[in-house]
Structure 1
Amino acid sequence: MSLVKKIIENRHFLALATHGFAALFGLVTFMTIARVYDKADFGQWVLYLTGYSFVEMFKEGVISSALVKFLSGTDLPNKKRIVGSSWTLSLIITFSLATLVYLIFLMFPVPIETFGLTLFFKWYPFLSIAILPLNYAAWIFQAEQKFDKILGIRLWSSGFFLSLVLSNLYFRLSVESIVIMHIASNCLISFVVMIKGWSGLSFLSKSNKNDINKLFGFGKYSLGTLIGTNLLKNADTFLISIFLGPVFVALYSVPLRLTELIEMPLRSLVSTALPKLAAASNQNRKKNVEQIFRQYAGILTVLFIPFMVMAFLFAEELVLLAGGEKYLESANIFRIFCIYGLFLSIDRFTGVTLDAINRPKYNLIKVIWMAGANIMGDILVIMLFEELWLVALVTILNVLVGVVMGFRFLKREISVDFFDILRTGWQECYGTYKTYFGTLFTKSKI
């Protein structure tokens, strides 16, 4: 029980649980809605979610990383000022985007309805306001490293909406009613968050122009990095669709979907690493920044090695499970992604560390280099060879460019070494094993 308690209270476990439960609830919600409605109505729901995610990307790109970076390790007066200034900037962006979306809806109703985008353009302005306090609470808790509260917020939000969707199995309301349920569930949790004082909205009066400019100055580079990262993730699919067609897209998408097995723990550790790195940087503890970077990048790289080897060996079985027999020929593509996965954690943590030490411009340049290498490499191999496995091979080139560029920029600020990362990762993994399991096994022998 002591071991279980240690694991459950660990912030990395809590961050992983947050992403895991959100993914699980999202999958069950997705499957339920898909079974209730016909393809046309379900397509409108998917377009609503896609449009919402795309527009929110701009807001979160400017706000979230900047808020976590400058909030981490600060005292209460500075915290109030930063949160208040962030709220001012966020409200400006939110109302600007909401107004723009609604004006487009009023000006072009017929084309919007033709393309099935009515639900998004009609309801996004309300959703953007309803979800803001909830998101702010999560960002503030991330900076304060209170991952248990983030887990609670996300569970209540996703769980309440899922319960409404499941109840619709009986009522069979319109798909527009599902959108209203989505907004209402977020609105309810946001209201609870504001009542508890978690959103930081009460600090709005503390905002000032200098902090708003500082947050926006950082956020504009974060937004560029986020757009570049999304381009990296989707460029392969778009280029394969343009040059080779939808059949090849389907073959490529199954192993690409399996890379979520790599992405989920990586996103979880990134969410716990950023506030620690930012706090150390804000307090001018450069040695601590170096140590935290080596620990996180090293631990995940060492842990990924056995998992990637197992995934490489059982690629056929994993592809069969994910897509069925008709996609078995794409197993070798997934094997290439397993090699890509070995370098992904170092690439990702060089970017996070650059953001944390207030060098978001370098992180953006790194992502631009990666996107350029990926797009040019994809076009070259598709036009010359028309082989999907070569497109996957380009992703290894892309991540290696990220590692090289990341190391180049980090070395201007802190001391980094590839073999030090691996050595630190092994030492930390072995130390963690002894902490959590050494005593347990010793007691069992007695």
Structure 2
Amino acid sequence: MTNHRFPKLYSYLGNNQFMSLAGNLAASGLGIISVSLLFRALPIREIGVWVFFITVVGLADSFRAGFLTTALIRACSGATPDRAREVTGSAWAIALGITGALGLLSLSAWLAVGRTADAETALLLRWFGVVLVATLPYFMASCVLQAEMRFDRILYIRLLSQGLFVLSIGVMMLTGTASLEKVVYCYVGASVVTSVMVLVLGWARLGSLSRRSGACIRELAEFGKYSVGSYVGSTMLRSSDSFVIKFMLGPAPLAVYNLAGRFMEIIEIPLRSFVATAMPALSAAYNQNRLGEVAHLLRKNAGMLTWAFVPATLGAWLLADLLIYVIGGAKYGDTEAANLLRMGMALAIIYPIDRFVGVTLDVLNQPRLNLYKVLLMLVVNVVGDVTALTIWPNIYGVALASLPTGIAGFTFGYLHLRRHLPLSLKSIMATGWDEGRALLARFLGKLVPAAASSKPR
């Protein structure tokens, strides 16, 4: 069977929305597989150390991403080729500066205390800067390709980086050589191979570095000083639970909590996909002063995702025990992981509107408000975590603290965005329902004729 029998269907599946979803689905799917393998290959305590390591690395990476991702996409969307090269080159200059500074900070800390630190801290200081350097080229390539809306290439990058990591872990398990140190080797190796590939293919646009300008660097930095706070704050918000659990309860409970959290990828897959494809469109509409279109895009994407999350949330709630068994194995069957998953999924229903409110505040050149929103949620979450664990030293307390955190951020962002755009929860849900039905009808309309035309006559 050839693609020519399904021209309309293949055209539909090849659009940006589908390619972005496929990229996030592939990355998250491989990420879940890698976690499943790691939970089986390493002792619970070492899993806790790995979670702590990857959490801190992710926090540093969010600082780099926060300074650049939104600023680059916002400046490049609808720009001329010369302007796009200037923005990309200036972003590369900022990225090199941030990576170099963090790497030197890590090296200095390792030379000062690395040899006398505990195992978790020593592992972090030894590899922190190496990981940031290894991931820089493919991080920049992903930012540039998102601005260019080349989600097919982003899919290839994610498949390679995550696929190599999963393959490496599988080989270690088959040979019985798995260890925490070797897991880090595999992670760094997969990142280096992926970065070399994007540099050779020219996807990272490293050559544009010569087109940088001081004015553009200052422009990106001016926007980035707010958006970086939102990115870092969001990552700290996700990571604060891990830090509090690690220091108040220890690595083993952290492993259990992280296992439940991995299934929130069910929510993050479509959420990241819709945000990735909507951000360039939202930015282009705002840059061309089409505020009505900005409001419609927000209502459409946030509304469709909210409706889609209803059955996903119910499914995860009913199948929580089975999902935990599949990803973590029998040794996690009697832990709190399944109930933690249920509690997390119950709150997830407000995520689509909350995420698109934050993105739209950035697009409307209001990153300051988005920063305040994230900081508010961070404060509420940390205070809630510490209070809950002090009164009730169990990881259920951390999960319960997420409820006031989510409500506080949702309310703050929604009320402030309404001052800039005509929005209501009713209009978001109504638009999402109508657009979702229309999207499904178009898909079925292309699928049925394509299937009928493939039958022999």
Q: Are the counterparts in 2 of residues 142 and 271 from structure 1 also a CA contact under 8 Å?
A: yes
Is the alpha carbon distance of 1:318 and 1:157 closer, same or farther for their aligned partners in structure 2, counting shifts above 3 Å?
Answer: closer
- Out of 93, 97, 112, the position equivalent to 1:92 is 97
TM-score, length-normalised on structure 2?
0.83
By how many angstroms is 1:397 displaced?
Answer: 3.0
Whether 1:18 and 2:23 are equivalent positions in the alignment is: yes
* Equivalent residue number for residue 66 of structure 2: 61
Q: Are the counterparts in 1 of residues 59 and 232 from structure 2 also a CA contact under 8 Å?
A: no
Bigger shift: 315-324 or 401-410?
315-324
* Equivalent residue number for residue 104 of structure 1: 109
* Equivalent residue number for residue 131 of structure 1: 135
* Equivalent residue number for residue 3 of structure 2: none
2-structure distance, mates of 1:187, 1:368: 34
By how many angstroms is 1:295 displaced?
Answer: 0.9
Q: Are the counterparts in 2 of residues 119 and 179 from structure 1 also a CA contact under 8 Å?
A: no
**1:206-256 Cα shifts (integer Å, max 9, x gaps):** 211221122112222222222322333344455567778889767766654
- Out of 140, 153, 156, the position equivalent to 1:152 is 156
Q: How does 1:385-404 map to 2 (within 5 A)?
A: 392-404=399-411
Q: How does 1:246-285 map to 2 (within 5 A)?
A: 255-285=260-290
Q: How does 1:172-321 map to 2 (within 5 A)?
A: 172=177, 179-180=184-185, 182-236=187-241, 255-314=260-319, 318=323
2-structure distance, mates of 1:318, 1:164: 24
TM-score, length-normalised on structure 1?
0.85
**1:9-66 Cα shifts (integer Å, max 9, x gaps):** 1323322322232233344445556666778987776665444333222222222222
**1:175-216 Cα shifts (integer Å, max 9, x gaps):** 656645544443333233223322121111221122112211
By how many angstroms is 1:427 displaced?
Answer: 0.6
1-structure distance, mates of 2:450, 2:109: 67
Report the AA paired with residue 378 of structure 2.
A
Bigger shift: 415-424 or 205-214?
205-214
**1:105-124 Cα shifts (integer Å, max 9, x gaps):** 22223224x43444543444
Is the alpha carbon distance of 1:172 and 1:344 closer, same or farther for their aligned partners in structure 2, counting shifts above 3 Å?
Answer: closer
- Out of 320, 323, 334, the position equivalent to 1:326 is 334
1-structure distance, mates of 2:65, 2:102: 12
Q: Are the counterparts in 2 of residues 36 and 172 from structure 1 also a CA contact under 8 Å?
A: no
Whether 1:352 and 2:359 are equivalent positions in the alignment is: yes
* Equivalent residue number for residue 375 of structure 2: 368
Q: Are the counterparts in 2 of residues 316 and 328 from structure 1 also a CA contact under 8 Å?
A: no
Bigger shift: 220-229 or 353-362?
220-229
By how many angstroms is 1:424 displaced?
Answer: 0.6
1-structure distance, mates of 2:279, 2:334: 41
Report the AA paired with residue 273 of structure 2.
S
2-structure distance, mates of 1:37, 1:329: 18
SS in 2 for 1:74: coil
Count of matched residue positions in the alignment of Structure 1 and Structure 2:
444
Q: Are the counterparts in 2 of residues 340 and 396 from structure 1 also a CA contact under 8 Å?
A: yes
Report the AA paired with residue 367 of structure 1.
V
Q: Are the counterparts in 2 of residues 74 and 279 from structure 1 also a CA contact under 8 Å?
A: no
By how many angstroms is 1:152 displaced?
Answer: 1.0
By how many angstroms is 1:290 displaced?
Answer: 0.9
Is the alpha carbon distance of 1:33 and 1:250 closer, same or farther for their aligned partners in structure 2, counting shifts above 3 Å?
Answer: closer
* Equivalent residue number for residue 430 of structure 1: 437
Report the AA paired with residue 151 of structure 1.
L
Bigger shift: 287-296 or 15-24?
15-24
1-structure distance, mates of 2:165, 2:253: 35
By how many angstroms is 1:310 displaced?
Answer: 3.7
By how many angstroms is 1:433 displaced?
Answer: 1.2
Is the alpha carbon distance of 1:111 and 1:12 closer, same or farther for their aligned partners in structure 2, counting shifts above 3 Å?
Answer: farther
1-structure distance, mates of 2:17, 2:239: 28
Report the AA paired with residue 25 of structure 2.
G
1-structure distance, mates of 2:42, 2:315: 39
1-structure distance, mates of 2:216, 2:315: 48
Bigger shift: 33-42 or 77-86?
33-42
Could you tell me the percent identity over the aligned residues?
32
Q: Are the counterparts in 1 of residues 259 and 337 from structure 2 also a CA contact under 8 Å?
A: no
Report the AA paired with residue 135 of structure 2.
I
Q: Are the counterparts in 2 of residues 165 and 178 from structure 1 also a CA contact under 8 Å?
A: yes
The structure showing larger relative contact order (alpha-carbon pairs under 8 Å, at least 6 residues apart) is 2
2-structure distance, mates of 1:443, 1:187: 42
Q: Are the counterparts in 1 of residues 357 and 414 from structure 2 also a CA contact under 8 Å?
A: yes
By how many angstroms is 1:79 displaced?
Answer: 0.4
2-structure distance, mates of 1:70, 1:344: 26
Q: Are the counterparts in 2 of residues 59 and 94 from structure 1 also a CA contact under 8 Å?
A: yes
Bigger shift: 254-263 or 149-158?
254-263
Is the alpha carbon distance of 1:357 and 1:177 closer, same or farther for their aligned partners in structure 2, counting shifts above 3 Å?
Answer: same
By how many angstroms is 1:96 displaced?
Answer: 1.2
SS in 1 for 2:208: helix
SS in 2 for 1:326: coil
Is the alpha carbon distance of 1:44 and 1:309 closer, same or farther for their aligned partners in structure 2, counting shifts above 3 Å?
Answer: closer
* Equivalent residue number for residue 79 of structure 1: 84
By how many angstroms is 1:299 displaced?
Answer: 0.6
Q: Are the counterparts in 1 of residues 65 and 231 from structure 2 also a CA contact under 8 Å?
A: no
**1:246-300 Cα shifts (integer Å, max 9, x gaps):** 8976776665443332222212222222222122222222122111111110110
2-structure distance, mates of 1:393, 1:140: 39
2-structure distance, mates of 1:217, 1:328: 44
Q: Are the counterparts in 2 of residues 44 and 117 from structure 1 also a CA contact under 8 Å?
A: no
Report the AA paired with residue 121 of structure 1.
L
CA RMSD, 1 decimal: 3.6
Is the alpha carbon distance of 1:131 and 1:236 closer, same or farther for their aligned partners in structure 2, counting shifts above 3 Å?
Answer: closer
1-structure distance, mates of 2:358, 2:422: 15
- Out of 342, 346, 349, the position equivalent to 1:339 is 346
Listed as ranges, the gaps of 5+ residues in structure 2 are: 1-5
* Equivalent residue number for residue 5 of structure 1: 10
